[in-house]
Amino acid sequence: MKTQVDSDGIVTLTKEGENLIKDSPLFNDGLRPTTMAEHNWTSYNFASLWIGMSICLPAYSLAAGLIALGMNWWQAIITIILGNCIVLIPILLNSHAGTKFGIPYPVYARLWFGSKGAHIPAVARGLVGAGWFGINCWFGGTAIDTLLMSMSSWGNVPGHTWIAFFGFWALNVWIAYRGPEAIKKMEFWAAPTLIIMSLALLIWALTKAGGWGPMLSAPSKFTTAGEFFKVFFPSLTGAIAFWATMALNIPDFCRYAKSQRAQIVGQSVALPTTMGGFSFIGVAVASATVVIFGEAIWDPAAVLAKFSPLAIFFGTIGIILATLTTNVAANVVAPARAIENLSPRKMSFGAGAIITGVVALVMQPWYILDNFGNYIFLWLGTYAALLGPIDGIAIADYWLVRKQRIHLTELYRTNGIYSYRGGYNWNAIWAMLLGIAVPFVSRLIPGLGFIWDNAWTIGLFVSLIFYTWFMKRSSSLISQADYEKITAKAEAHAS
């Protein structure tokens, strides 16, 4: 029986396939495969998604952290662009599966970890997403607090910083509660607005300073290559880790792609250029503030606070918009889907969004951002070591083990081929543990610190290799002939 149909590389369920899974305890409307009509995201939608997510206060501050660690401006920007080009590879590899089969990340994870084991990578990604959600709320809330103080006597209000933070946190949760379609619409209009506001800030800085300022001509603090690389590799891991989360749950968005070309072009053009360009704006503006104000100001809110009340008002709107577009897209969808997947018949995406907001508070983002060491080495470095192996397993499973052949209805069966033993694929669990263990153990052994400095990359390849080896004879694999028995061919649709 044909349970799925392939139309120009997009696989959707047939009516027979839909009827087979609609009553499954692993099925609900948010976790089902998308229909052909829902595959409507164009290259612009994906470009605007990444522009909206990349123009954010953490990205502005990332270059600042690298310069504070001793890099000059171009070393910091190149590190960021290189990190984003590297992480773009797993993003595109995992995007292919989401686009072709229209499944969200928690369902995709059932392939590798099993119907129950999928909660391991889904919750791991969700916790990191919740952490980032809190970080962005803290960035945005404190920026709003700074701007309000510059316009009024807001600073005299007891607990004003916490009021601004919790108010902004509530706004984020409310918008996230409305769901992915609302996110798509917001990103569509926000992307060009954020680009214009960022360029306006850069033009103001250059005009006022009469040039690029002294910071762009300041030399690196490193006197030898060894000193540089000691900071470069963990910083590169931090730059990769910035979007390593999205490398996992990008199927949550690419399941709506109109075609493979649409998601590849949109993402490849927007991600490295926006991250590199916005980081450069951060460096250039901070450089100009040395000339204009006599000190380097890395906080964009602190820069805006020196403007006129009207400019501060528009700047505040820009900061709110920049933080919202990043937070609700990059940091809520994954944890909300993970929570939804814990009990598909009882949990909704909206409930998951609310729970994500609460977990973000418990993770205390104000501590993570206490200093750049915590931010780049503790936060970015540690979760990179945890998520790299999961990225490796996802890539190995789809491209090397299954060769892009998935039986969609089996993903929603509690006793299907993707349930493995009791709902857990121990091949994936062991491969993940090995990928995590190698960098963490190396951190403790003198002379092997290089492995920890590249934890995401090393962990990815360790888990990829072991998972591919472990899965050689798995009964969950389907042959090309079996795939053709369940998959009908349809006429090509317009791309």
Q: Is the pLDDT of residue 494 over 60?
A: no
- Measured CA distances, 254 to 102, 105, 108, 113 (Å): 7, 10, 12, 21
Contacts of 483 (CB under 8 A, 6+ apart): 405, 407
pLDDT confidence tier of residue 452, bands split at 50, 70 and 90: confident
Q: Give the angle 336-340-342 at the CA atoms, nearest 5°.
A: 120
> How do the domains of the chain map onto residue ranges?
4-489
pLDDT confidence tier of residue 94, bands split at 50, 70 and 90: very high
119-138 confidence digits (pLDDT tens): 999 998 888 888 888 888 88
CA 390 from chain center: how many Å?
A: 14
Mean pLDDT computed over 459-470: 97
Q: How far apart are CA 98 and CA 100, in angstroms?
A: 6
Share of the chain above pLDDT 90, in %: 52
| Alpha helices (H) along 210-259 | 225-241, 244-249, 251-254
Q: 39: closest CA among 350, 263, 212?
A: 263
Dihedral sign (CA 363, 29, 249, 57): negative
Rg of the chain over all Cα atoms, to the nearest angstrom: 23
Q: How far apart are CA 479 and CA 314, in angstroms?
A: 58
Q: How far apart are CA 351 and CA 375, in angstroms?
A: 29
Q: Is the pLDDT of residue 49 over 80?
A: yes
Mean pLDDT computed over 327-355: 89
Between residues 381 and 410, the one the model is more confident about:
410
Q: 436: closest CA among 389, 482, 384?
A: 389
249-294 confidence digits (pLDDT tens): 999 999 999 999 999 999 999 999 999 999 998 888 888 887 888 8
176-190 confidence digits (pLDDT tens): 888 767 777 778 888
Q: 354: closest CA among 339, 372, 376?
A: 339
Q: How far apart are CA 112 and CA 249, in angstroms?
A: 14
Contacts of 230 (CB under 8 A, 6+ apart): none
CATH for 4-489, among 1.10.4160.10, 3.30.360.10, 3.40.50.300, 1.10.3720.10?
1.10.4160.10
pLDDT at 229: 92
Task: Sheet with 487-489: list strands edge to edge.
Answer: 10-13, 4-7, 487-489
Q: Is the pLDDT of residue 491 over 70?
A: no
Q: Is the pLDDT of residue 35 over 90?
A: yes
Mean pLDDT computed over 143-163: 89
Q: How far apart are CA 384 and CA 87, in angstroms?
A: 11
Q: How far apart are CA 115 and CA 123, in angstroms?
A: 14
Tokens of 362: 């418990």
Dihedral sign (CA 467, 469, 472, 475): negative
Contacts of 218 (CB under 8 A, 6+ apart): 72, 73
Share of the chain above pLDDT 70, in %: 95
209-237 confidence digits (pLDDT tens): 887 777 677 788 898 999 999 899 988 98
407-426 confidence digits (pLDDT tens): 999 999 999 999 999 999 99
pLDDT confidence tier of residue 428, bands split at 50, 70 and 90: very high
306-316 confidence digits (pLDDT tens): 888 888 888 88
Pairing of strands 4-7, 10-13: antiparallel
pLDDT at 301: 78
Between residues 366 and 149, the one the model is more confident about:
149
pLDDT at 495: 39
Between residues 461 and 240, the one the model is more confident about:
461
Pairing of strands 487-489, 4-7: parallel
